[in-house]
Amino acid sequence: MPILSQAEIAALNETASFNRWAGFTVVKAQDGEAILEMPWHPNCGQYAGHLHAGLVSALLDTACGFAAVTAAGLVVTSQMSVNFLAPAEGDSFRAEATVTKPGRRQVFAESRLFAIQADTSTLVATATAVMVPIEGKPDPKVQN
């Protein structure tokens, strides 16, 4: 599976309806690293009004996936473990991911989510992901 460029990954991001709805922007995607941002918006809250765990997870997973794509081509996530360190309260959010190990059969990555408010950036969650490269063209059967 060919490795994708940052422009191709930004285009891939736009093909996912949920990513568009949530406002994910690819800030960086190259050399085994990816940075993803989204602004807060009012439909993303859990019951106390912070960013919902589903969006925390979506940002962390997508950042891992895009980091993996720069190293191994298209992947599907098979496992994600998320630690929620603090309430995700901010004007915007930034997920930073790094590939830990690119393999032929599996790609490992980890990511961190920061909540940004005025001038402060707070680490609010961390994740690890196990992904599996998929063969051939973008496959309608891939999962993530």
Q: Which residues bind a second copy (CB under 8 A)?
A: 12, 15-22, 42-50, 52-55, 57-59, 61-62, 76-88, 100-101, 103, 105-106, 108, 110, 123, 126, 128, 130, 132, 138-144
**Least distance CB 54 / a second copy (angstroms):** 2
Would you say 39 or 45 has its CB closer to a second copy?
45
Comparing CB distances to a second copy, the nearer of 29 and 88 is 88
Q: Which is nearer to a second copy, 28 or 131 (CB)?
A: 131
Look at residues 75, 81, 82 and name the one whose alpha carbon lies nearest to residue 132. 75
Nearer to a second copy, 62 or 70 (CB): 62
How far, in Å, CA of 83 to CA of 8, rounded?
Answer: 30
Whose tokens are 């568009």? That residue is 20
Burial class (CB in 10 A: 0-12, 13-18, 19+), 105: exposed
State the nearest-atom distance from the C-beta of 72 to a second copy, in Å: 14
Q: Retrieve residue 78's tokens.
A: 């098979």
The single-letter DSSP state of residue 46 is: -
